[in-house]
Amino acid sequence: MGLVLLLVTFLVVFGIVVFILLFGESPSLRNGIVGKINRWLTHSAPRGLSWILLKTLGKSNLDKMAKGWAYCCESRNPFLQTFFILLSASAISGYLYYALPHMPGPFLNEIHYVIIPIQIITLYVVYYVACTANPGHITKDNLQKHLDYYPYDGLIFKPKTCNTCNLQKPARSKHCPMCKVCVGRLDHHCSWLNQCVGENNQRYFFYFLFTLVEFCAYGAYLCFQVYRGMILEWGIDRAFVRDKVTGEQVPITFRKAFLYVLHRDRIIGAIGILATVVSLVVSIFLIYQLYLASLGITTNEAFKWELVEDSIDRGELFKMIPIKDKSKQQAKSPKTLSRRNLAASKVKEGYEEVLIKSFDEVKNIYDKGVIGNLKEVFIPPRFD
């Protein structure tokens, strides 16, 4: 049980750290314990580690390590792709070597000899497509089509030029410093795919997530059924144990029988636990991504909307509306505007500035309804 407990603990801690790194800077979390841990992990800890390494290794060795860090964590590299392939291939090989001899069994028939290879091939084919599909690079040839399709909302997207690509940035696009290119309707940069997830490959990203969830859930099911069969094969279901309270011999419970098999055959159990945890974690992430997509929001835009909501809560966001009362319009001449309005808001003549009190007053112009939003993801517009 020690190895299994260690694996579960590692996966849980890893998931918590990833969550803190991804969401610790969001307005809703940055002022709490999650934000404090995020700042420690991203600022305090690296500075402290750099100081220790500088004192122990010297500046030249530290510079070499910095270059290695920049390649591993700040540029495109196949490390996580290689890790995924090796981890999944190891789990599959372990199952085929240790569990396949127990098939067919009392709970698994011959049909799984056909399903298993189909599952393996599908997983790697979908992963290859997700890794190689163009996410939607912005080029001089398709720039105008992007500008025509995605209007600026004047709130989270305003006309600006990408200094790196020397191109106007269409609304909903973002320059990826790792891919070194602007991507249309960028969702996020995925290190597992070694490229961005954008307007053209987000559907393949969803296909991969769904395939991975289904593949791991199926693997966990197979491991569980193999263990059930081993309980019958070893005759543990007919065993008796001594009750600690009464001292009498009582039939062994399924839980104790299952734990006994897990203790005797840890490899299959470890594979099953790994598959279960990955399936649960990825399914939660998949649901979250589908939820954002159904709202017409990307992961990148979700952080922008959180900043907008935070500005509303602090009373810093205003909107300009036409002045219907002419007498009020004359009184609201540019001479009577405050310095803040003149410098920051630039209120036009004939308009007045009104404080936005609720996030419900702000409209997402990119929201086309649930069906329209999902259609845009799975049947994206063509810009070539």
Active-site positions?
190
User: How far is residue 165's CA from residue 162's CA, in Å, rounded to a whole number?
Assistant: 5
Long-range contacts, 322-330 (Cβ 8 Å, 24+): 322/350, 322/351, 323/350, 323/351, 323/352, 328/352
| 8 Å CB contact between 6 and 20 | no
Single-letter residue type at 134? N
Dihedral angle of Cα 94, 95, 97, 100, to the nearest 10 degrees = 180
Cα-trace Rg, the chain: 28
Pairing of strands 249-251, 240-242: antiparallel
Helices (H), 133-163: 143-149
Helices (H), the chain: 2-23, 33-39, 45-57, 59-73, 79-98, 112-132, 143-149, 202-233, 254-264, 266-294, 299-313, 326-331, 339-340, 369-378
| 8 Å CB contact between 185 and 173 | yes
Look up residue 142 and give its two tokens.
Answer: 């398709």
In the chain, what is the greatest distance between 2 CA atoms, to the nearest angstrom?
96
Pairing of strands 195-197, 240-242: unpaired
Question: Where does residue 130 rank: exposed (0-12), middle (13-18), buried (19+ CB within 10 A)?
Answer: buried
| 8 Å CB contact between 294 and 370 | yes
* 8-state DSSP, 184: T
